[in-house]
Amino acid sequence: MYYFLLVGFFALKRKLIFFIVALLLVFNIFVFTRVWKIYHPRLAVYFLDVGQGDAAVIVFPGKEVCIIDGGRRSNFIDYGERVIIPFLCSRGITHIHTIIATHPDVDHYGGLISVIEHFPVGKLLVNGSSKESFLYKKLLATAQEKGTPVYTVGRGEVLRIGQHKMYVLNPPSVDMVDILPTNEGSIVLKLGYGKVTFLFTGDFPNRVLKLPGSCLSSTVLKFSHHGAAFSKLSTFLCTVRPEIATISVGRDNPFGHPECENIQMLKQSGCRVYRTDTDGAITLITDGKTIRTALMIR
C-alpha cells in the first residue's frame, strides 16, 4: 500500500512540476510578446477598397492616423460613409491627425467630406489648386466649418506626424499647380519606417518626378492612376525598385484599368502585385524590417 502511495505521490509531483513549467512558459511568452511590441512597434498601412478611386489609411506606432485620399462621392455612393468611416470605427479610431487630398479629382477627395464631418481632424493638406468643383469647394468649406486648418504643400516640405516624417516630392511648387495638368499636380509622398519605405503617388504621371533615384527608391509603391498606361514604366521601376506594388482600382471599370502590360512588367521585375478589385482591402504591417501582408478577399 505504501508503495502505491509513494508511486502516486511522485506521479502527482511530476504532473505538478509539468503544470508549473507550462504555466511559466505561457507567462514568459506573454511577457515577451508585450515587451517585443513595446520595443518593436509596428506601422500599418491600409489600402481600402473604394472602387475606382484611392484611399489609404496609415496608423503610426504612436496611434496617430493619416488618411491619403478618400474615394468618390456622388448622388449614388459616398465611400467616406460606406467604407472609410466604418473601417475607422472598427479600429477604435476617434481622431485623425492628418488628411491629405492629393489633387482635386473627385475619386480621390469625395469621401473625405464625410470623414471630416464625422471625426475631429488635426489638419487637411491640399496641393493648392484653384480648379475647384462644387464638391471640392464643399470639402474646403466643411474643413473650415469643423475648425480643421487647411494647408497647401509642395516639394521639399516635411510632414511631421508624431515622431515620424513624410516627405513631399510633388508638386514642384504650390505656384506651379494651376499651370500643370490636374494629375501632374498630385501630392506625392514618401514615408520611411526603419528600412521599409512607401511611395504614395496620387495620379501623377512618372515624367513629373525628375528626382534622384535615391528619393524615389521604395519598398512599397502605390501605383499611380489606378494602373493606367504608364510611359517608360521599365525605367521608372528600375529607379523605384519596389518589392510590393498596390493598385487601387474598381472591378469591371470602363477605363480598362489596370493596364495588363503594367501588371506583367511589375511581376517580371520581381514585384508582388496586389489590387483592390480582386484582392479587396490590402493591409501592410511592418516593424521596419519585414512586411506582413493581409488581404480582405471579396
**Tens-digit pLDDT profile for residues 203-220:** 998 654 666 666 899 999
Run of H or E residues at 21: helix 2-39
Domain hosting 194: range is 41-296
Q: Which CATH number do you get for residue 287?
A: 3.60.15.10
**Tens-digit pLDDT profile for residues 126-178:** 999 988 799 999 999 999 999 999 999 999 999 999 999 999 999 988 888 89
Dist. CA 165–CA 163, nearest whole Å: 7
Q: Is the pLDDT of residue 85 over 50?
A: yes
Question: Which residue's entry shows cell 508511486?
Answer: 7
Residue 232: its pLDDT value, please? 78
| Same domain assignment for residues 145 and 2 | no
Question: DSSP string of 176-225?
Answer: GTTTS-TGGG--EEEEEETTEEEEE-TT--GGG----HHHH--SEEE-GG
User: What is the grid cell recorded at 115?
Assistant: 470623414
281-286 and 55-59: which strand pairing? unpaired
Q: Structure pTM?
A: 0.86
| Same domain assignment for residues 70 and 6 | no
Number of domains composing the chain = 2
| Same domain assignment for residues 147 and 216 | yes
Strand order in the sheet with 150-152: 150-152, 124-126, 98-100, 65-70, 55-59, 43-47, 281-286, 291-296
